[in-house]
A and B are shown apart, each in its own frame.
Chain A
Amino acid sequence: MSIQLLKGCFDRGQDNRYCNPQNTDQEKVNKSMKTSPVRRHRLVKALGISVTLSLFAVVSGCATTPAAEPEGGGEITVQGAFSGAEADGLAAAVEAFNALGEGTVEIDSISAQQQREQIATSLSAPNPPDVLTWFAGKATRDFADEGLLLDLSDVWTESLSDFSPALRDLSTNSEGQQVFVPTQNYWWGIYYKKSEFEANGWEIPADWDSFLALLQEVKDSGQIPLGIPLGDSPWTASAWFDYLNSRINGGPSHLGLLAGDTSFDSPAVSDVMDAYADVLPYFDPDAAGVTFPQFTSDFAEGKTAMALMGAFWQAGLPEDTQSDLAFFQFPTIDPSIPVVEEAPTNGLLVSVNSDNPTLAKKFVAFVASPEGQALLLSSSTGALGTNPTTTRELSDLETQGLDMLQSAAQLTQFFNRDGGEALQPTADSALVRFFFAPGEVDQILVDWQAAAERARAL
């Protein structure tokens, strides 16, 4: 009420005596409000009708009629959360598939963040997208356990029989059925610039001790050895944790920790944090305030020398940095432990409520085939196809990455994909706090375990 009176005063200037709240003659005000009752009446009536109409429109839009199931052919929708080069690749693969004449595929593009938030509702809706791009790991296992994913075992037996056992395990649900078709993955490594290393005579470290020696050398030369964007991407700290845990305690132990079999507040994790404390002095001291773009430009400009990053990062670097780019494998700490590499895998899953499972299966088999993967990854840098037979020409870095992944004993998926989304914020908190106060490590681990238990109870 006040706002309307005041607004009126603002328009009409100060001489309207109704603008002074203290001198308001209530009756006169009421009368002035009633001066055009007919007009007001009509306005409200129009509003009421438009509201009712829009309500009806919304309600009728929601009522969907189930489509008849076609025999082969027909149409399916792919919900793709790719951007940039990968989105172009998916479009190319879809075009090629449509040209085969077996059916029509339509792409529904959404952002990755939006898909993460909506996928639960998308899959359980009565009219879900038929095929969705998604990640392997706990992220898929959760949906599989809820029975939302179509069994794709026949696709695996027919078309994907030569895929590696590691990938097969990754795509299997708790009942032994395959529910996921992996299409691409990428590697993680410690990136550096060749020209910098050559100019300073630095050598690629073969093991942990030589890595620490290298870090000291870089620091002595005046450059910041390691960059990390903790400002807006604290999850990058989990990469260091994942690697250190896998190198010190082994892959199965690391996955067990993330699954909740062991506690964060244990001697095994303490050892990991001790090693982490060894590298802490070599990080950018301002890292907690640095955003991802800032971190990228710091590396490109030579402010930082190295960064533990995934291959997806390559595409975001400037052209001249990309041609100067190289990476080495995270150094071995304990030679007796089989090498584990992080290889977050993306792929396709099919909704169990799909109207056209036949066409959906044909489509995912096509995308996983050598031709499909060549199209999918045609403009990507830093992504590897999962099909062992590939017709793609790989760059030097991609060849190096592929060799690294193929010689690894086990592939993990990264903290949030292995441990679940609920666990990731607990790692962010604990590891960034460790960055500020490494001396409080015992309390940090106790709090981390408590937070993990709470996250699992949610």
Chain B
Amino acid sequence: MVVVLVFLPLLVELLGVLLPAILGVGISLSRWNGLGSPEFVGFANYALMVEDPVFSVALGNTAIWLLLFGTFSYVLGLAVALLLQADRRGVGVYRTIIFLPVVFSSVVTALIWTSFFQPDGLVNWLLEALGLGEYARAWLGDPDTVLYAVVVAALWRQVGYVMVLFLAGLKSIDPHLIEAARVDGANAWQRLRFVVLPQLRNVNMVVISVIIIDALRSFDIVWGMTRGGPFNSSELLSTYMFVAAFGQRALGYGSAIGVVILVLALGFIITYLSRALREEKES
């Protein structure tokens, strides 16, 4: 009976997750426009990818995205969680406000933020109201600023999610440890560095994995706001994969880009998790 119960979910996982992934790798080795059957071409798609300037731009943008999105969502999420961890009266309101963006549909978020960033939108209006009118510009139209503008919109949503994860982790810290540290004369910063942060190691594993996956998976916000931006300035690997697979109907090439995303994600996560688990084992 136990064998059957273990086998069934395994079957679902194999058929639903592993099989499509393997098929996807298979399609990346072929040329296919969706009609008829795929034509095996070996590594031709990967060879094309190496020479493709749009792919290099997308890769670079994805690296910048990973860095900015990852760092800021972690730092801001942690900061907000630390600020709002005490169960004071009314703190629930703040937590809800910060978490609310997570609930909204990302397409709706993209549309609203696009309207904010229009030349006569909210952002420019605010800048002018604060006397910083010289910084007003077409945020989504300028190739130098578009990626950062989209990151702001994505962070607006992600911070709430990371905050909730950290709140859960902070709640699990034994208050006696913090009390003991305070009695020993540690100030707030030292308590944070030597007591709170080490206790958050388990949560860190989850948070960082989630952030990496979300960063590499970011598609809807970018697509909704700029469709890859003025001539690929905000093109990420995920949007380029979509354009190649469904816009240009080059499903083999799109799958190849998907494989690259998978390798990147696995690479980061496996490296991080193995290090973190090894550390936990040692401690």
Contacts and interface: CB of A to CB of B under 8 A. Distances in A.
Interface of A: 2-3, 5-7, 9-10, 13-14, 19-23, 44-45, 47-48, 51-52, 55, 116-117, 120-121, 123-124, 142-143, 146, 148, 230-232, 234, 286-291, 294, 421-422, 424-425, 428-430, 432-433, 435-436, 447, 450-451, 454-455, 457-458
Interface of B: 1, 4-5, 8-9, 12, 31, 33-36, 48, 51-54, 114-115, 117-119, 138-143, 146, 167-169, 171-175, 199, 201-203, 205-206, 226-227, 230-232, 243-244, 246-250, 252-253
Contacts of B247: 421-422, 424-425
21 contacts: A2-B205, A3-B168, A6-B169, A6-B172, A14-B175, A45-B5, A47-B9, A51-B9, A234-B231, A286-B141, A288-B141, A289-B117, A289-B119, A290-B118, A290-B119, A294-B115, A294-B118, A421-B248, A422-B247, A447-B53, A458-B252
A148 B248 CA distance: 20
A135 to B, nearest CB: 15
Nearest to A7: B168
Nearest to A145: B35
B261 to A, nearest CB: 18
Contacts of B226: 231-232
A21 B205 CA distance: 14
Contact of B172 (A20, A117, A288, A430): A20
Main secondary structure of the interface of A (DSSP, over half): helix
Given A120-B34, A289-B117, A425-B243, A23 B9 contact: no
B172 A9 contact: yes
Contacts of A44: 5
A435 B4 CA distance: 63
Instruction: Among A13, A288, A421, A458, find the residue whose CB has the most chain B CB atoms closer than 10 A.
Output: A458
Given A14-B171, A21-B172, A117 B118 contact: no
A131 to B, nearest CB: 19
Contacts of A21: 172, 199, 201-202
Contacts of B206: 2-3
A454 B252 CA distance: 13
A289 B199 CA distance: 45
Contacts of B199: 21-22
A289 B118 contact: yes
A288 B230 contact: yes
Contacts of B167: 10
Nearest to B232: A429
Contacts of A121: 34
A386 B175 CA distance: 78
B91 to A, nearest CB: 15
A286 B119 contact: yes
B36 A291 contact: no
Given A52-B8, A289-B138, 4 more contacts: A44-B5, A121-B34, A123-B35, A451-B53
Nearest to B143: A436
A48 B168 contact: no
Contacts of A429: 54, 231-232
B7 to A, nearest CB: 9
A453 B174 CA distance: 63
A289 B31 CA distance: 35
A152 to B, nearest CB: 20
Contacts of B31: 458
Contacts of B205: 2
B119 A146 contact: no
Contacts of B250: 422, 455, 458
Given A14-B174, A232-B226, A421 B138 contact: no
Contact of B202 (A6, A231, A286, A291): A6
Contacts of B119: 286, 289-290
Minimum-distance CB pairs A-B, first 8? A289-B141, A289-B138, A458-B250, A288-B141, A120-B34, A422-B248, A286-B138, A433-B231
A232 B172 contact: no
Nearest to B248: A422
Contact of A289 (B34, B48, B140): B140
Given A422-B248, A425-B248, A287 B171 contact: no
Given A6-B169, A289-B140, A120 B202 contact: no
Nearest to B34: A120
A23 to B, nearest CB: 7
Contact of B174 (A20, A421, A432): A20
Given A146-B35, A288-B138, A289-B117, A6 B231 contact: no
Contacts of A454: 48, 51-52
A3 B209 CA distance: 13
A2 B141 contact: no
A425 B239 CA distance: 12
A251 to B, nearest CB: 25
A436 B231 contact: yes
A232 B227 contact: yes
B249 A120 contact: yes
A48 B8 contact: yes
A424 B246 CA distance: 12
